[in-house]
Homo-oligomer: A and B are copies of this chain.
């Protein structure tokens, strides 16, 4: 497909570059940034979820879809080192989903919002001729000096993730097999954004680049590399593969909503130790940032025997 998502976004970025930026940092990160005086900034992100593409209404409850709609958005805010403060929710519903379904959806959305004190400030509800469509725009606040951008990774940094990978992909397999009660299935249906971790990592000066893992670590790390003009080597045996998941799930499975970051090597031990103290869970070092050769920014994987392979470039497909 010529217009894969990333091509299309690249084209849009170019088309709209002629417009004044009105003080915003534009497209190209998890969120757009708007400095608002003193050291403060607001960040903005939007995500659309479609029935049959991002969720199946016969596999997920309305509550779970509502919960997940909020979480996947504030995950992008957390990925900037920002604190989510508000959302706007647009909801297109087929006639038969008004009433009970919509109310339960809102209860799920409310539960997720309450968890992190995110307020709902606007949106839209409308009829859809076919299928549920959800759009959430999330707004976050952050000190300008704590913002973590994809473009800030440096050669020598270590690459880290906030938790085990592949759980969501393994969970999706369970769900599609009709097994909804495994831990992975639950995680897939109701993921948890790393909101507190994102804020905490934002405060760490040694953390250089950060983003959230929504399309799989292979594909998402590539974004950091492209924006930072560097390459990375990840070690096969250091990837924290979630229980029940495969290495393939961990590398290419989407929707884990862990944070992916690079840390200045000299301070990384201290960050790891403090993270563990703060959250009772480890940060996992999975690799290192290296200079790109011939201007080619790529993810390489290092086997046990030290041999390097280029990681396959493939994205995540929901179903």
- Chain A interfacial positions (CB closer than 8 Å to B): 1-3, 5, 8-9, 11-12, 15-16, 18-27, 31-32, 34, 36-38, 42, 44-54, 85-86, 88-92, 95, 98-99, 102-103, 106-107, 110, 113-114, 117-131, 133, 135, 137, 139
Contact = CB atoms under 8 A, between A and B. Distances in A.
Contact of A126 (B24, B34, B38, B53): B53
Contact of A133 (B15, B85, B128): B128
A44 B88 contact: yes
B135 A52 contact: no
A53 B119 contact: no
A23 B181 CA distance: 39
B119 A24 contact: yes
A96 B46 CA distance: 23
Describe A's contact surface by its main secondary structure: mixed
21 contacts: A11-B103, A12-B120, A16-B113, A19-B114, A19-B119, A22-B85, A22-B118, A22-B119, A26-B121, A32-B86, A32-B121, A37-B38, A44-B137, A48-B90, A48-B133, A50-B128, A51-B129, A52-B130, A53-B92, A53-B126, A131-B131
Contacts of A54: 126
A89 B89 CA distance: 13
A125 to B, nearest CB: 5
B53 A127 contact: yes
Contacts of A45: 88, 122
- Residue in A31, A50, A126, A137 with the greatest tally of chain B CB atoms within 10 Å: A137
A70 to B, nearest CB: 12
Nearest to A110: B15
Contacts of A117: 19-20, 22
A149 to B, nearest CB: 14
Contacts of A26: 119-121
A138 to B, nearest CB: 10
A102 B3 contact: yes
Given A12-B106, A126-B54, A128-B50, A119 B3 contact: no
Nearest to A120: B16
Contact of A50 (B18, B53, B127): B127
Given A23-B85, A37-B38, A85-B23, A48 B135 contact: yes
B99 A129 contact: no
Contact of A122 (B19, B32, B88, B123): B32
A72 to B, nearest CB: 10
A53 B48 CA distance: 18
B32 A92 contact: no
Given A98-B1, A114-B19, A133 B130 contact: no
